[in-house]
Chains A and B, each alone.
Chain A
Amino acid sequence: MDMMTGLQVSFSALNAQRTRMNVIASNLANAQSTRTPEGGPYKRQEVIFAAQPQRSSFAGMLNEQLRDGVNAVHVLDIVSDPNGTRLEYEPDHPDANEQGYVAYPNVNVMREMVDLISATRAYEANVTAINSSKDMALRALQIGRV
């Protein structure tokens, strides 16, 4: 059903935004982590979104042209940002190097908060789209009911 495609597209976005929020939460939680299993300080993680054309389920429903217009979104990858490790002079810290500097993660808390708000808003926008889809489907079911 056509309506389900719209819902699926919105659901895929909810999924993607939720993943993004998890990654942001992980960045915030590890803003001060100086040790990781891989060694060295924690590295900021970032999600990469990619559009995913909805073709297969759709061929018969939409005409040729319209098929290109419908794309779900999925998380292509989660990459870590290797740049910008922060060095702070703390000679007493167990992880300090010979010069007394500690390498802290490259997490900028303000930037993560902004990202978090942006992810929340995107999530809300998709919830609104889902509610619209639902309204329309219910409305269609009421046609002919007296």
Chain B
Amino acid sequence: MISDLFSSTLDVLHKTLDLRQQRHTVLASNIANAETPGFIAKDVRFEEALRAAATPPQPPPLRQTHPEHLPLIHPTSIRNVQGTLVVTPSDDIGHDLNTVSIDQEMAKLATNTMHYNASAEILSRAFDQLKRTVSETQ
């Protein structure tokens, strides 16, 4: 089946790149505002939502046997996963009410970039594999 070929792995990787990119923008904004008075550091959280969407759904035990039955609830599709903006907890708020901890943000930025690169690498290899599969018979 051609739809099996483009499996959910690609969807997950695609979405991961998307969300990591968004998180990168938010972290870059925290670093840019590391000295802005009153700025509150934020972060994007999406891991749980993505994991929930990527877990293979259990086969639904119910079937719609009548058109007027309530529709079955489908699990969130991977494509619809969205990150949520959260306020980064901070224990040292300075006199200027800025909550950015520059070390923490730099560490997050580096980790996020590494994850992004790793996902991009895996995606590249997945495409590589597909290519090999479709060209092997020639």
Query: Quick check: is B124 within 8 A (CB to CB) of the other chain?
Result: yes
A66 to B22 CA separation, bound complex (whole angstroms): 8
Residues of chain A at interface, number, CB under 8 A: 44
Q: Give the one of A17, A63, A70 with max B CB within 10 A.
A: A70
B128: contacting residue among A5, A65, A146, CB under 8 A? A146
Q: Which residues of chain A are within 8 angstroms of B20 by Cβ–Cβ distance?
A: 136
Known: A68-B85, A129-B31, A140-B120. A9 touches B25 (CB 8 A): yes
B116 touches A49 (CB 8 A): no
B83 touches A126 (CB 8 A): no
Q: 30 A–B contact pairs at CB < 8 A?
A: A3-B21, A6-B29, A9-B28, A12-B32, A13-B34, A48-B37, A49-B36, A65-B84, A65-B85, A66-B83, A69-B25, A70-B26, A71-B33, A71-B39, A73-B32, A73-B33, A73-B35, A118-B35, A121-B102, A122-B102, A125-B102, A125-B106, A128-B106, A129-B28, A133-B28, A142-B124, A143-B120, A143-B123, A144-B124, A144-B127
